Amino acid sequence: MKIILSTDFSAENEMLFPYAIDLLKEAGGEIILFHAFMDQILMGDSSFPGGLDSDTFFNRELLIEMEQQAEKFMQEKQQLLEQKISEAELHHITVTPVLKGGDPEMELIQLAEKEQPDLVLMGTHGKGKKRFLEGSMAKSVMTKLNVPLLSIPQGYQWNKSNDILYATNFGRFEVSTINRIFATLKHYQPVIHVVHLQEDAEDDKPGLLMEELKQAFRPEIAKQSIRFHLIKTAIPKEALKVFCEQNNISMASFIANRRKLIDFLFKDKIGKDAFFDLGIPMLTVREP
């Protein structure tokens, strides 16, 4: 198994280390520890004596300093991660540092295309001018990455529950996506709750589509590793939150649609923000 772990070098980001180690604990594999720093510094005219025309002035000294600092931080984080792996006596897990100069989002996407990891792991909060690992970046890259993205909220304490919510809108790729989630999380022996929230209680179509989706998972239903829930509600966002609390949901998952920047997952206009607001890890898979 191979994981890309994105880091902004903050102490808060170290919370991702146990997740990466746990995901590889049984199968072993490689953790690619990734960081990108901006390799161009733009300064306005007023910053320079003599009124230099320097809207795109390239400050080489500052760039060199940034790169050296990034190399130092990367070495420290790599050593810390390797120490945690050694303490767990997991000698079949390796760490590969990757440090890039450039736009963090684009560099991450390109690295994922090159390495083809099983998933990318990032936090949903970060520091710095770019706020590298903040929720806004997770929202953006989840529609562009060619592999699943696991986003962990800062400060989240891992819930030992293996109950996973999967939000369906009955698209073309539901079956393949659910199977991919099963494969990605097989170490946890997940129970996937396939959920659709319906505002129009008189609409029969969602019920028919849910029954059709069930037919693709008869073996999993027999093993009780998948459950299906059609929830009729006038307050879908609140219903989503209540469902997660009542069923001890430890992770939410859905297809990240590329067609719109913020695509709605349900006809009742529940968007990605509703899932960020749950405060639990999110596993997203880009629409093929």
Residue 24 has a pLDDT of 94
Q: What are phi and psi of 145, to 5 degrees?
A: -65, 140
- pLDDT tens, position by position, 74-101: 999 999 999 999 999 999 999 999 999 9
Q: Are strands 226-232 and 251-256 parallel, antiparallel or unpaired?
A: unpaired
For residue 48, what pLDDT is reported? 44
Q: pTM (2 decimals)? A: 0.84
206: left (phi over 0), alpha (psi -120 to 50) or beta: alpha
Spatial CB neighbours of 286, under 8 Å, sequence gap ≥ 6: 142, 143, 144, 145, 146, 255, 256, 258
The Cα–Cα gap between 138 and 115 comes to 19
Q: Which residues of the chain have pLDDT under 50?
A: 41-57, 126-134, 260-264, 267-268
Output the six-digit token pair for 260: 């719109």
DSSP 229: E
Cα–Cα distance measured from residue 110 to residue 104, given in angstroms and rounded to the nearest whole number: 10
CA atoms in the 13 A half-sphere facing the CB of 177: 26
In the chain, the amino acid numbered 264 is F
Q: Would you kindly state where each structural domain of the chain is located, as residue ranges? A: 2-39+69-152, 163-286
Model pLDDT, residue 185: 92
CATH of domain 2-39+69-152: 3.40.50.620
- Do 163-286 and 2-39+69-152 fall under one CATH topology? yes
User: Tokens in use for 267?
Assistant: 């006809």
- pLDDT value for 268: 44
Q: How much is the CA Rg of the chain, to the nearest whole Å?
A: 21
Q: How far apart are CA 147 and CA 284, in angstroms?
A: 9
For domain 163-286, say whether CATH 3.40.50.620 is its number.
Answer: yes
